[in-house]
C-alpha cells in the first residue's frame, strides 16, 4: 500500500475496547470479562487489576468460556466473552448457537485479532469465516468497527443492548474515520464519502482502504460513494438499495472469505431489490499464504489501488 | 539412520536450540519459551525413537509424531531440517512472505508434518485416530503426540484420553510438556491441572513422570519395552519454559517475547557455553 503523503496516526482498536469496557465496568457492577488465558492479547490486564473479581479466566477452553458466559448472563451479569476471534467463533460455534443465539442470552462475544490480523501465524489463526458463521445465526448482532471511535461507540452500545452481540475487532492499526462522539446505531451504515458512479462498501480494517481508493478514483474523474457498514447482520438494506439505485454499481471489500460475509450480505439485498453489477473483494476460496495482514490484503487486491482498479473495471459493466 | 546416543542427542539438542533462537531473533517473532522446553523431547524422538525416513516422508509404515503445541513450529522446522526433511537454509525464510514455514506447521507444505496444528487441543484426538488405524490394520508403527500443559485445559483432550483408554491404544504415547506456564500466567494461577499423572491414571492410562530435559529419562519413557499391554502411555515431562537460557527459564514473560540484540547475545553465549 502506498503511504499517504501526510501519514495519519494509526490506532489499535483493542485499546478503545478496553478503555470503554473499564469505564463501563466502573459504573456497572454486572459487567464481567470472560477470557481463555488471553488477558494479555485482549489487553485486559488493566481490567483485571481494577476488577479482579470480575475477570473470569477459564483457561484455554473456548467451549467452556462461551458456556460460562451464557451462565453468567443467566445470573444477571453482562459478560464480555473475549478471545482470539478464530478460536472464540470456530471452536465454540455450537455453544454460540445453542447457549447464546437459540437461548437468547445477553452475551457479548468479542473476537480479538480477527480477519487476517494474525498474518504469518497462518490460516489456523486467520478468522476469515466468522461473518459467515455468526451471520447464519438469528439473535446475534454482528459488528466490525472501522476505527477506535466506532469501536468505543459499539462497545458502549453493546453493554446497553439486551441480547447477543459479536464484536469483531482487529489489532491492525487503523486511522480515525468517524467523527469524535459518533453514536453507534446497529444496522446503520455511515457514509464516509458521497459519490454517484459507484459505491464502495467496507467495514473493519478495509474501510480506510476503501476511502483511499475513492480518492484515487476521484483523480480519474470517477465519483465513488463509500459506505462504512460495520453491522453485517442486520444489514442496512436502505443504504444498499439507495447505493444500487443512485450509483448503479457496488464493490464490497472485506477481511473475510468472499463466501458468506459482507459481500454476500450486500448481494442478498441487491439481487432481491435492485440488481446492479457487483464485485465482491475478499479472500478467495483458499487458505491464505504466509504474510502480514497488510501484505495479504494487498495480495488479494485490496490495496487502495487494487480496490480502485476493481471499481474501474466494474463500472464498464453498468447498463 | 543409526539412533543417536544420549551424548549425541544432548549435542544435537543444543545445536537445535541455538538455531531456533537465531531464527526467532531474525524473524522477530516466535514462541521461544515453549520451544526451549520441548527441544530435548523432539530431539530424542527424531534422532533416536521415530522410525521415519526423510526421503520417504509418507511411508505408510512410518511412526507418527504430532506436535500438538503448534505454536512452537519453529523448533519443529529446525529439527526437521537437521533430520533432512527440509533444506537447512530454508529456516531463514521462517515467517517471511509466501514462505511455507509459517507460525504453525502445515502438512500440505512441509514434509514430515502429519497434521496441521495451531488451535490447541487438536493433536491428541488426531493421534488417537492414527493409533486406532494402526490397530485396525494390524500395523506395528507407533504414534506419539506432544502437547503443552496449558493445552490440556482444552476439553477435547480429555475426550480423546477417554477414547484412547477405551480402545486399548498401547501403541499411543502422549508427552505433556509440563513447564507449568501457559500464555499469560502460571497454570496454578489459571486453571491448575497438577498433579497430571494421577488424572491420566484415573482415566485408565499408564503414566510416567520424568525430567523432560534428561535424555536418559526421556529415552526410557519413550521406549516400548515393559509397557502395560492395552494401556496408552502418558509421559508427564517436567520441563522449564525457556530452558537453557537463564533469564527466560521459568519466566512467564517469555511465552512469545523476542530477545533484543543484547539478550540475544547473552542467550547465545549461554547456549554455546553449555555446548562445551
Ligand atoms: C484453541 C486455542 N486457544 C488459544 C490459543 C492461543 N495460545 C497459543 S499458545 C497458548 C498457551 C499454550 O500454553 P501451553 O500449552 O502450556 O504451551 P507452552 O507452555 O508449551 O508454550 C495459547 C493460549 C490457541 N493457539 N488455540
Ligand atoms: Mg506450558
Query: Which one, of A117, A137, A138, A114, lies nearest residue A230 by Cα?
Result: A114
Q: Where are the domains of chain B?
A: 6-275
CA atoms of B82 and B3, how far apart (whole Å)? 14
Which residue puts its alpha carbon closest to atom 22 of ligand 1? B183
Vertex A218 angle, CA A214 and A219, to 5°: 125
Neighbours of A137 (CB within 10 A): 17
CATH architecture of A190-318: 3-Layer(aba) Sandwich (3.40)
A142: pLDDT confidence band, cut at 50, 70 and 90?
very high
Residue A2 reports pLDDT greater than 60: no
Residue A4 reports pLDDT greater than 90: no
CA atoms of B125 and B168, how far apart (whole Å)? 14
List the single best residue of B68, B154, B177 to mutate versus A (max A Cβ within 10 A).
Answer: B154
Instruction: Tell whether A94 lies on the interface with B, counting CB pairs under 8 A.
Output: no
Partnered with residue A200 across adjacent β-strands are A226, A251
Neighbours of B33 (CB within 10 A): 28
Q: Which pLDDT does position A7 carry in this prediction? A: 82
Homologous superfamily of A13-168:
Thiamin diphosphate (ThDP)-binding fold, Pyr/PP domains (3.40.50.970)
Is residue B241 within 6 Å of ligand 1 at its C-beta? Answer: yes
Q: Which atom of ligand 1 is the closest one to the Cα of A38?
A: 23
Which residue puts its alpha carbon closest to atom 19 of ligand 1? B182
Do the Cβ atoms of B68 and B33 come closer than 8 Å? no
Do the Cβ atoms of A134 and A142 come closer than 8 Å? yes
- Taking contacts as CB-CB distances below 8 angstroms, the residues of chain B near A57 are 184-185, 190-191
Q: Which pLDDT does position B71 carry in this prediction? A: 98
For A82, the 3-state DSSP assignment is: strand
Over the stretch A226-268, which tens digit does the pLDDT of each residue have? 999 999 999 999 999 999 999 999 999 999 999 999 999 999 9
User: How many Å lie between the alpha carbon of B4 and the closest alpha carbon of chain A?
Assistant: 33
- Per-residue tens of pLDDT for chain B, all 276 residues: 999 999 999 999 999 999 999 999 999 999 999 999 999 999 999 999 999 999 999 999 999 999 999 999 999 999 999 999 999 999 999 999 999 999 999 999 999 999 999 999 999 999 999 999 999 999 999 999 999 999 999 999 999 999 999 999 999 999 999 999 999 999 999 999 999 999 999 999 999 999 999 999 999 999 999 999 999 999 999 999 999 999 999 999 999 999 999 999 999 999 999 998
- Taking contacts as CB-CB distances below 8 angstroms, the residues of chain A near B184 are 37-41, 57
The answer to whether A13-168 and A190-318 have equal CATH topology is yes
Find the mean pLDDT for residues A102-122.
98
Instruction: Tell whether B106 lies on the interface with A, counting CB pairs under 8 A.
Output: yes
Of B103, B121, B151, the CB nearest to A121: B103
- Taking contacts as CB-CB distances below 8 angstroms, the residues of chain A near B29 are 120
CB contact under 8 A, A120 and B103: yes
Cell of B10: 544432548
Do the Cβ atoms of B145 and B128 come closer than 8 Å? no
Over the stretch A33-49, which tens digit does the pLDDT of each residue have? 999 999 999 999 999 99
Over the stretch A158-173, which tens digit does the pLDDT of each residue have? 999 999 999 999 999 9
CATH architecture of B6-275: 3-Layer(aba) Sandwich (3.40)
What distance lies between CA A253 and its chain's CA centroid? 12
Q: Where are the domains of chain A?
A: 13-168, 190-318
CA atoms of B249 and B251, how far apart (whole Å)? 5
CB neighbour list of residue A68: distance below 8 Å, 6 or more residues apart? A34, A56, A58, A79
What's this model's pTM, rounded to 2 decimal places? 0.95
CA atoms of A270 and A259, how far apart (whole Å)? 16
CB contact under 8 A, A37 and B151: no
Residue A1 reports pLDDT greater than 50: no
Cell of A276: 446492479
User: By percentage, how much of chain A surpasses pLDDT 70?
Assistant: 98
Query: Which one, of A238, A215, A243, A216, lies nearest residue A227 by Cα?
Result: A243
End-to-end Cα spacing for chain B: 25
Question: Tell me, what DSSP letter sits at residue A86?
Answer: I
CB contact under 8 A, B104 and A58: no
CA atoms of A238 and B253, how far apart (whole Å)? 50
Q: Which pLDDT does position A5 carry in this prediction? A: 56
Amino acid at each position: 500500500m502506498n503511504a499517504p503523503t501526510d501519514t495519519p496516526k494509526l490506532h489499535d482498536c483493542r485499546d478503545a475496547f478496553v478503555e470503554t469496557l473499564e469505564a463501563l465496568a466502573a459504573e456497572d457492577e454486572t459487567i464481567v470479562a470472560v477470557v481463555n488465558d488471553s488477558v494479555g492479547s485482549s489487553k485486559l490486564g488493566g481490567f483485571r487489576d481494577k476488577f479482579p473479581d470480575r475477570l473470569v479466566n477459564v483457561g484455554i477452553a473456548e467451549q467452556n468460556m462461551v458456556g460460562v458466559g451464557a451462565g453468567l448472563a443467566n445470573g444477571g451479569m453482562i459478560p464480555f466473552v473475549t478471545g482470539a476471534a478464530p478460536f472464540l467463533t470456530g471452536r465454540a460455534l455450537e455453544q454460540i448457537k445453542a447457549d447464546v443465539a437459540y437461548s437468547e442470552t445477553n452475551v457479548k462475544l468479542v473476537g480479538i485479532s480477527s480477519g487476517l490480523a494474525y498474518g504469518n501465524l497462518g490460516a489456523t489463526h486467520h478468522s476469515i469465516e466468522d461473518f459467515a458463521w455468526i451471520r447464519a445465526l438469528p439473535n446475534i448482532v454482528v459488528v466490525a468497527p472501522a476505527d477506535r471511535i466506532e469501536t468505543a461507540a459499539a462497545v458502549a452500545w453493546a453493554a446497553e443492548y439486551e441480547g447477543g452481540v459479536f464484536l469483531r475487532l482487529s489489532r491492525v492499526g487503523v486511522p480515525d474515520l468517524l467523527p469524535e462522539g459518533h453514536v453507534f446505531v446497529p444496522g446503520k451504515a455511515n457514509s464516509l464519502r458521497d459519490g454517484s458512479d459507484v459505491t464502495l462498501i467496507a467495514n473493519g480494517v478495509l474501510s480506510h482502504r476503501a476511502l483511499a481508493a475513492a480518492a484515487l478514483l476521484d483523480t480519474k474523474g470517477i465519483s465513488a460513494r463509500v459506505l462504512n457498514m460495520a453491522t453485517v447482520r442486520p444489514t442496512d438494506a436502505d443504504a444498499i438499495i439507495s447505493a444500487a439505485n443512485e450509483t448503479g454499481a457496488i464493490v464490497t471489500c472485506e477481511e473475510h472469505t468472499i463466501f458468506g460475509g459482507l459481500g454476500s450480505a450486500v448481494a442478498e439485498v441487491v439481487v432481491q431489490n435492485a440488481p446492479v453489477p457487483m464485485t465482491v473483494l475478499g479472500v478467495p476460496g483458499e487458505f491464505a499464504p504466509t504474510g502480514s495482514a497488510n501484505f495479504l490484503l494487498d495480495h488479494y487486491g485490496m490495496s487502495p489501488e487494487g480496490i480502485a482498479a476493481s471499481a474501474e473495471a466494474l463500472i464498464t459493466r453498468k447498463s | 539412520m543409526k539412533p543417536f546416543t544420549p551424548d549425541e542427542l544432548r549435542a544435537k539438542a543444543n545445536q537445535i536450540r541455538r538455531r531456533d533462537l537465531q531464527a526467532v531473533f531474525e524473524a522477530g517473532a516466535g514462541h521461544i519459551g515453549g520451544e526451549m522446553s520441548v527441544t530435548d523431547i523432539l530431539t530424542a524422538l527424531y534422532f533416536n525413537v521415530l522410525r521415519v525416513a526423510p526421503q520417504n516422508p509418507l511411508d505408510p509404515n512410518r511412526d507418527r509424531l504430532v506436535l500438538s503445541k503448534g505454536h512452537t513450529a519453529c523448533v519443529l522446522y529446525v529439527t526437521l531440517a537437521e533430520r533432512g526433511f527440509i533444506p537447512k537454509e530454508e529456516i531463514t525464510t521462517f515467517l517471511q512472505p509466501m514462505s511455507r514455514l509459517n507460525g504453525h506447521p502445515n502438512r500440505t507444505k512441509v514434509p514430515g508434518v502429519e497434521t496441521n496444528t495451531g488451535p490447541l487441543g487438536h493433536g491428541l484426538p488426531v493421534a488417537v485416530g492414527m493409533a486406532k488405524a494402526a490397530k485396525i490394520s494390524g500395523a506395528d508403527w507407533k504414534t506419539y503426540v506432544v502437547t503443552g500443559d496449558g493445552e490440556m485445559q482444552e476439553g477435547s483432550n480429555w475426550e480423546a484420553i477417554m477414547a484412547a483408554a477405551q480402545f486399548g491404544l498401547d501403541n499411543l504415547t502422549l508427552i505433556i510438556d509440563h513447564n507449568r506456564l501457559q500464555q499469560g500466567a502460571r497454570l496454578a494461577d489459571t486453571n491448575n491441572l497438577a498433579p497430571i499423572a494421577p488424572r491420566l491414571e484415573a482415566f485408565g492410562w499408564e503414566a510416567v513422570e520424568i525430567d523432560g530435559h534428561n535424555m536418559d529419562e526421556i529415552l526410557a519413557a519413550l521406549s516400548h519395552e515393559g509397557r502395560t499391554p492395552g494401556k496408552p502411555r502418558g509421559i508427564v515431562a517436567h520441563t522449564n519454559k525457556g530452558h537453557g537460557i537463564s533469564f527466560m527459564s521459568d519466566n512467564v514473560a517469555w511465552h512469545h517475547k523476542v530477545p533484543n540484540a543484547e539478550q540475544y547475545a547473552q542467550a547465545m553465549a549461554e547456549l554455546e557455553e553449555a555446548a562445551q
